[in-house]
Amino acid sequence: MNNRWRLLAIWLLPVGLALFLGWQVVNNGGPGRVVNAPSLAARNSAVARMTYGRFLDYVDAGRVTAVDIYDGGRSAVVEAQDPDLENRVQRLRVDLPGLAPELISRLKDKNISFDVHPPRSTPPLLGLLGNLLFPLLLIGSLIFLARRSSNMPGGPGQAMQFGKTKARFAMEAETGVKFDDVAGVEEAKEDLQEVVTFLKQPERFTAVGATIPRGVLLVGPPGTGKTLLAKAIAGEAGVPFFSLSGSEFVEMFVGVGASRVRDLFKRAKENAPCLIFIDEIDAVGRQRGAGIGGGNDEREQTLNQLLTEMDGFEGNNGIIIIAATNRPDVLDSALMRPGRFDRQVSVDAPDIKGRLSILKVHSRNKKLAEDVSLEMIARRTPGFTGADLANLLNEAAILTARRRKEATGLAEIDDAVDRVIAGMEGTPLTDGRSKRLIAYHEVGHALVGTLVKQHDPVQKVTLIPRGQAQGLTWFSPDEEQMLVSRAQLRARIMGALGGRAAEAIVFGHGEVTTGAAGDIQQVAGMARQMVTRFGMSELGPLSLEAGNQEVFLGRDLMTRSEVSDSITNRIDGQVRLIVDSCYRETVALLEGQRPCMDCLVELLIEQESLDGDRFREVVQNFTPVPEKERYSPLMPASS
């Protein structure tokens, strides 16, 4: 409050001075000239004005009785008899051309009483202040603005703060997150628990000659809980904690990033032992010299300073750095070496046990119906990260509130899974040729997936649009499957081609649509990987891909290709051979099941959605369904 009154006084001082001097200017004709009080009253009492020529006529006619001259002969107040008002005396103001001797002589000749009022000069100090009016007003306004903006982040008052770190600092970080609140990443929690133990009880490690890693790099896809783990470490450790993003180091000004790194580590050493968390470190830690023409740029200078501070001549004893990224492939090798980031902790998508534990954490404040099983939800969501599962339960809760239910049931969970994976539900199609064509397309996918033994079982077929897709077929992949066989890859290619094959069989090759565009892209990708990466073609077990898929401009611009032109042609031939053979098998399979396909289409058009059990039940009435392992997890396969 005192600062506000002080700033207000600083701003009002020049304003008040300006008002005072302005008043003097208005009433005295200009700065530096102030008349005496009687003259001022006399002049203000004269309201009417008279021209100089008429004034001379009145003088010659003897109608002027008295004249008071002001402002060095520039104006006068005249007492004159006005013939239009029965010779009544009036006080009139006259603007004179100057105090001329002829006027004085004429007044003396006519015996007119006159008086000359000399101006009284202002004191020198007041005149100086009048001349400094505008500079004082300008300086006062600038001081007020500077003081006001000094408390604003990034304001003009902080123009000299560019080189200071922007890290958020807390002596004891109250993040509200503990290790008990983080689930599904047990291995990562064990590695990070050692960091917390070292900060709390360092003698347990130093007694046996062990040293804690100086840096821990959290690596994993987005949404797996890297930042959440950092919050848990801060909440558990109870030591000073610095947190910032990698992008906060780099500015457009040269040297700012390196200066911020120095300032960060200077503050960290003053508060050691402490933790520094750098989120998205790939923004500043990318490989050096990756662009055309070298790279002595601001980002590289920032990285050089970071490397020096982490493990340079002085070292950083007592400072533990935790960084997170989902792009470890682009980080500089000097940043990844032992002594800087000694330990890399993988934070991958959780398995079924991890998903179950994550669901238990996020369902604490959710009202679930009695028939809802968290284990069932965990089995239906393979590949979901912690963020995906949190979003899933939140979407289910929103649907529950929208439907005015008191607890989330299986219907809300099912709809939430569909919405998270495929998008918002659209308006159902009206019965017509387009709906029938989409039905044949989706039944073609599902029927091939059901009849091919190596394919994953069908989970759901629907004609309800979601996102960009007008229809969807869901398959349930093997939860624990880490390796994929050649037969399984061919089965997936056949399943993806089932929609196009069904269109061609029913409507003819001239009526196939663009609905299979996404399927064809998937087919091409899988077939090319079979040839170039997995060695599942006639070319033999050879890796025929380009070595490094760098994301930097100019890294491999002049690198010699590892594959000759003849091998490239043979690769294209093998990809086409795989796709053609799979398409022929798919067409033959569906042509032999035309009655079954027509029955499924009519049923799908009528009900708009079929689950996997109902779909297999109908197929079983026409042809035996091959035995295959069946799983609960849900995954979209095509659209």
Q: Report pLDDT digits (tens) over 72-125.
A: 777 888 888 777 777 777 788 888 876 667 777 788 777 888 787 776 666 666
pTM (2 d.p.): 0.66
Q: Which of 46-55, 157-166, 453-462 shows the lowest per-residue confidence on average (mean pLDDT)?
A: 157-166
Q: How far apart are CA 429 and CA 544, in angstroms?
A: 45
Q: Report pLDDT digits (tens) over 506-529.
A: 999 888 988 888 899 999 999 999
Q: How far apart are CA 349 and CA 367, in angstroms?
A: 26
The pair of structure tokens assigned to 216 is 């821990």
Greatest mean pLDDT range, 113-122, 403-412, 429-438 = 403-412
Residues 6+ apart with CB under 8 A from 568: none
Residues in a beta bridge with 242: 169, 276
- Residue 495's pLDDT band (boundaries 50, 70, 90)? very high
Q: How many helices (H) and strands (E) does the chain have?
A: 22, 17
**Higher pLDDT among residues 504 and 630, named by residue:** 504
Say what the pLDDT of residue 501 is: 94
Say what the pLDDT of residue 478 is: 58
- Residue 548's pLDDT band (boundaries 50, 70, 90)? very low
Say what the pLDDT of residue 505 is: 93
Q: How far apart are CA 470 and CA 463, in angstroms?
A: 7
**Ramachandran area for residue 288 (φ above 0: left; ψ -120 to 50: alpha; else beta):** beta
Q: Which of 97-111, 340-354, 621-635 shows the lowest per-residue confidence on average (mean pLDDT)?
A: 621-635
Q: Are strands 64-70 and 113-116 parallel, antiparallel or unpaired?
A: parallel
C-alpha separations of 582 from 131, 444, 569 in Å: 94, 14, 20
Say what the pLDDT of residue 295 is: 47
Please list the alpha-helical segments (H only) found in 465-593.
486-507, 517-532, 565-591
The amino acid at residue 57 is D
Q: Report pLDDT digits (tens) over 289-331.
A: 755 544 457 778 888 888 888 887 766 677 888 999 988 888 8
The amino acid at residue 480 is E
Letter string b/e over residues 567-593, b meaning 16 or more CB atoms within 10 A of that residue's CB: eeebbeebbeebbeebbebbbebbeeb
End-to-end CA distance of the chain: 64
* CATH 3.30.720.210, domain 36-118, yes or no: yes
Residue ranges of domains in the chain: 36-118, 171-346, 352-422, 433-546+563-638
Active-site annotation holds for 395: no
Which member of 236, 248, 298, 442 is catalytic?
442
Are 583 and 495 in contact by the 8 Å Cβ rule? The answer is: no
Q: How far apart are CA 18 and CA 21, in angstroms?
A: 5
User: Of 226, 256, 229, nearest to 162 (Cα)?
Assistant: 256
Task: Tell me which DSSP letter residue 429 carries.
Answer: P
Q: How far apart are CA 88 and CA 110, in angstroms?
A: 20
Q: Which CATH superfamily is domain 433-546+563-638 in?
A: Peptidase M41 (1.20.58.760)
What does the H/E/C string look like for 202-262?
CHHHHCCCCCCCCEEEEECCCCCCHHHHHHHHHHHHCCCEEEEEHHHCCCCCCCHHHHHHH
Q: Which CATH superfamily is domain 171-346 in?
A: P-loop containing nucleotide triphosphate hydrolases (3.40.50.300)
C-alpha separations of 196 from 179, 253, 267 in Å: 11, 37, 21
In which order are the strands placed within the sheet that holds 609-611?
609-611, 458-462, 472-475, 635-638
State which fold the 352-422 domain adopts. Helicase, Ruva Protein; domain 3 (1.10.8)
Q: How far apart are CA 399 and CA 408, in angstroms?
A: 8
Residues 6+ apart with CB under 8 A from 137: 14, 15, 17, 18
Mean pLDDT, residues 326-351: 87
Q: Which of 22-31, 261-270, 509-518, 521-530 shows the lowest per-residue confidence on average (mean pLDDT)?
A: 22-31
Give the distance, in angstroms, between the CA of residue 71 and the centroid of all CA atoms in the same chain: 69
Cis peptide before 273 (omega within 30 of 0): yes
